[in-house]
Structure 1
Amino acid sequence: MGEAARVYGPPFLAWVALIGRLAIYRVRDPAEDRSKRLVLTYLGALAISFTLQAPGCYEAAGDLLGIPNAAKPLSHWTVLVAAWAARNLLVWMREGGEPVRLSWRLRFLVAGSVVGTGVLFLLADTPVNDVRYNALYGAEPLVLEYWLAYLVGLMPALLDLARLSWVNLCDAERPAVRLRLWMSTVGVVAIIAYHVHKGMFFLSRRFDLPYSNTFTAVMDKYLTLVAFVLVLLSASLPRLRVSGDGAVAGWLHRFTTYQRLRPLWLALYRANPQIALSPPRSALLERLDPRDIDLRLYRRVVEIRDGRLALRPYLDPDAEARIRARAVEEGKTGHQLDAAVEAEVLAAGLRARSAGEPPPNGPPHAAIHGGRDLDSDTEFLARVADAYAATRSARPRGGTSARSR
């Protein structure tokens, strides 16, 4: 069981991370779209590479292509793609601006590495299609040269990744960001150590130099597992914008508030889709997406206020007076009273607009209730959303608008 987890755990985690990103993927602006494409490229390349290195898939790739050990260069080329995509993502995050593109020198370096590894792989005498390629052919001519050609394209990206992760870690203040960068830094350093170790292993096999078999076994089995798990986790964890004491509790409160606002926001969006920058997703996907909750909550509050503004012609002040009197009779006071009245006024306005009723005569708006700042207004709208959801569940189907009562 432990060996199966070591072998198949990394590809499983990589595919879960990739599918999770794809499930919550949506474009907000061109800049964010560029960063998400880099993340998807990075995760997708790692998922393919890990899958090709799994024993059954490794042998199947060689059999399918008719080239023994074809999975070896294919997995290495996808690692090159992943490493440079991750490096470009960190460069873009730190410097911003235009999309990051490799200089012609780096492109030449990577292209030379790909061509060199391909040629050396085809020239090397490795006829048996076996996942134990390194142990079987470590002493063969051109295998060491293959590894060195691979490192020519990979090491610059890894060294840049380690440097950028460390620099960003030193600058980061938020605990969640620091955690991600710690995992990224340690993971990349471990990957660099593994590739240096593997170069020394091939060197020792080629020239019959002493090199500990026990050390090799430990490095091969556990270093890559720890390294890639850390790197995958750093890429997969949500970017929680939290800091200070009670950070987790504060984030949970904002996330819960964001979900509470959904019924009211969705009703206003359906009445006026122009209020939202992005169309709604399913409730399940929204609950599975914990990223950027501060920004998303702020936007939801603003869009609810925009939706109310667009609904002003249908908000009847006379209806509001009747609704308020009835709520007072029911014993509601303070914030509870204002939230309940606002919810019913909005529900009546939405029904009137949906039914095509003409706007009422007189002042074309009802009184505006809310908080004095963003936090208090967010809490008020959350109460309104709760009351609105309760009103909808209690109202029988085919109910009449408040204006007709």
Structure 2
Amino acid sequence: MTTLENSVAILLWTITAWRAPKVWRQGKDRTLWWAFFGVSVTMTLRLPLGQDLDRSIGVVDLSFLLKHISGGVFGAAALLAFLRNVSGNNASGSWRARIRVALPITTATAMTALFAATSQPHEAEDLLTDYAQHGTILAYGIIFVAYLSTALFGAMRVCWRWGRDSGNGSLGWGLRLIGVGMASGVAYALHRIANLVTRYFGHTILGESLDHTTSTLFLVVAVMLILTGSTLPALTKIRSWSADRRNLLRLYPLWHRLTDAVPSVRLDPPRSRTVERLDPRNAHGRLYRRTIEIRDAALVLSDHAPAEIRAQAQSHVVASGLIGTQADTAVEACWLEVARRSRLRGEDPTNKHHRPAGGGRNLASEISALSQLSAAYHSDLTRSFAEATDPTRTLETQP
């Protein structure tokens, strides 16, 4: 079980660290970050590191108090506050809001007082188990578990209600997963309080070892489900970022060749494809800018593609057997390459009336249209047309 707890603790700290810059820079979702931070501390103190902390400070079993308060009291309160905020069910400024602030503080204060009033001659494997027959620890445990189960049950209700209203998207399913995690947390709390009461009278529910394993499983399942549910909406953003990055790289060759001929349309200096691939920042904004620059370059290059070139491109494509939209795209690719070569040779524009083919109605359809244009532009069909109409090659082949 220690290996699993280690993995969960590492994962929690990774998520907490990953969220920190955005949360503290933008000031959003701070309550959720505090919830992750509190649970991360709790899972860390469940490891042998907790006993090391007790020995270094010199207070026996202090790690138990810290982990119960950090995750079970303030972590649960922060998560419940986050869920109430996003569901629009947070009545700030009312007496209920003041109670929500006072209740975890009062709970933590009472637990600290009962902990200090308990004589603890040795380091415990489990505070609520080893000192179960002490009245102060019984009261400590009842207060702690009662608060935890109440908070988790309230959060579970918010999640299920809001998750049902949010539909079947990533947000809705994320909330449902958090709700299931809360249910596992409630089961953990109920098992703990039942175990606490039975141990006070000198008995166990499933046996000491099995009770500990069961309690740990409920806790780990709760943490993993809450973690998964809270990050599920972020997975949608990751998929969107991945698609934007993929399209950004796919359009790079077409963008680079066209804007080499019309560098004035570039907002920033060109970078190599390797640098583009390694830069993860603002993929959506860069992609949006790339589509604009491709169309702007095509608009300028259209002045270098007179009617006869366009007619020749049409005949060339029809002869290849293409029809419909594929043919239109291939025609545009053919005259674009001829126009690009013309501009790079320094020839003056010969046509001010034609314009490039229209793009998509939105960014998604524009990306699709430009991806098809890129594929056609780099095809043998376009290359053979450009070479056949290249006046420099014609001069070279004359005797």
TM-score (norm 1): 0.67
Residue in structure 1 matched with residue 370 of structure 2 by the alignment = 381
Letter in 2 for 1:126: Q
Specify whether residues 206 and 175 from structure 1 end up closer, same or farther in structure 2 by C-alpha distance, changes over 3 A only. Answer: same
Which deviations, in whole Å up to 9, do the C-alpha atoms of 1:99-124 show, x marking residues without a partner? 99982211111111122222222221
Asked if 1:59 corresponds to 2:59, the answer is no
Residue in structure 2 matched with residue 228 of structure 1 by the alignment = 223
Asked if 1:369 corresponds to 2:358, the answer is yes
Q: Distance in 1 between the 2:22 and 2:357 partners?
A: 33
Residue in structure 2 matched with residue 162 of structure 1 by the alignment = 156
Specify whether residues 72 and 256 from structure 1 end up closer, same or farther in structure 2 by C-alpha distance, changes over 3 A only. Answer: closer
Specify whether residues 343 and 205 from structure 1 end up closer, same or farther in structure 2 by C-alpha distance, changes over 3 A only. Answer: farther
Asked if 1:203 corresponds to 2:197, the answer is yes
Specify whether residues 236 and 334 from structure 1 end up closer, same or farther in structure 2 by C-alpha distance, changes over 3 A only. Answer: same
Asked if 1:180 corresponds to 2:174, the answer is yes
Specify whether residues 57 and 380 from structure 1 end up closer, same or farther in structure 2 by C-alpha distance, changes over 3 A only. Answer: same
- SS of 1:103 mapped into structure 2: helix
- SS of 1:169 mapped into structure 2: helix
- SS of 1:129 mapped into structure 2: coil
Q: Distance in 1 between the 2:177 and 2:158 partners?
A: 13
Letter in 2 for 1:260: R
- SS of 2:134 mapped into structure 1: coil
Specify whether residues 256 and 201 from structure 1 end up closer, same or farther in structure 2 by C-alpha distance, changes over 3 A only. Answer: closer
CA RMSD of aligned residues (A): 4.9
Residue in structure 1 matched with residue 66 of structure 2 by the alignment = 74
8 Å Cα contact 2:299/2:355 also seen in 1:
no
- SS of 2:121 mapped into structure 1: coil
Asked if 1:125 corresponds to 2:114, the answer is no
- SS of 2:195 mapped into structure 1: helix
TM-score (norm 2): 0.68
Specify whether residues 76 and 305 from structure 1 end up closer, same or farther in structure 2 by C-alpha distance, changes over 3 A only. Answer: same
Residue in structure 2 matched with residue 42 of structure 1 by the alignment = 35
Residue in structure 2 matched with residue 246 of structure 1 by the alignment = none
Letter in 2 for 1:58: G
Q: Distance in 1 between the 2:89 and 2:327 partners?
A: 47
Q: Distance in 2 between the 1:85 and 1:122 partners?
A: 25
Q: Distance in 2 between the 1:212 and 1:149 partners?
A: 23
Residue in structure 2 matched with residue 86 of structure 1 by the alignment = 79
Pairing of 1:5-404 with structure 2 (within 5 A): 5-21=3-19, 26=22, 34-35=28-29, 37-54=30-47, 56-79=48-71, 80-95=73-88, 103-151=97-145, 153-174=147-168, 176-208=170-202, 211-213=205-207, 216-239=211-234, 257-263=243-249, 271-272=266-267, 283=277, 286=280, 302-304=288-290, 307=293, 315-319=300-304, 334=327, 336-337=329-330, 340=333, 367=356, 369-372=358-361, 375-383=364-372
What displacement does 1:231 show?
1.7
Letter in 2 for 1:337: A
Q: Distance in 2 between the 1:313 and 1:372 partners?
A: 17
Q: Distance in 2 between the 1:39 and 1:283 partners?
A: 32
Unaligned runs of 5+ residues in structure 2 are 260-264, 269-274, 380-399
8 Å Cα contact 2:329/2:372 also seen in 1:
yes
- Of the structure 1 ranges 100-109 and 136-145, higher mean CA displacement relative to structure 2 is found in 100-109
8 Å Cα contact 1:144/1:206 also seen in 2:
yes
8 Å Cα contact 2:359/2:366 also seen in 1:
yes
8 Å Cα contact 2:302/2:339 also seen in 1:
no
Specify whether residues 222 and 372 from structure 1 end up closer, same or farther in structure 2 by C-alpha distance, changes over 3 A only. Answer: closer
Residue in structure 1 matched with residue 388 of structure 2 by the alignment = none
- Of the structure 1 ranges 92-101 and 189-198, higher mean CA displacement relative to structure 2 is found in 92-101
Which has more radius of gyration? 2
What displacement does 1:65 show?
1.7
What displacement does 1:305 show?
5.1
Letter in 2 for 1:228: V
8 Å Cα contact 1:191/1:224 also seen in 2:
yes
Q: Distance in 2 between the 1:177 and 1:196 partners?
A: 28
Say which structure, 1 or 2, has more relative contact order (CA 8 Å, 6+ apart).
Answer: 1
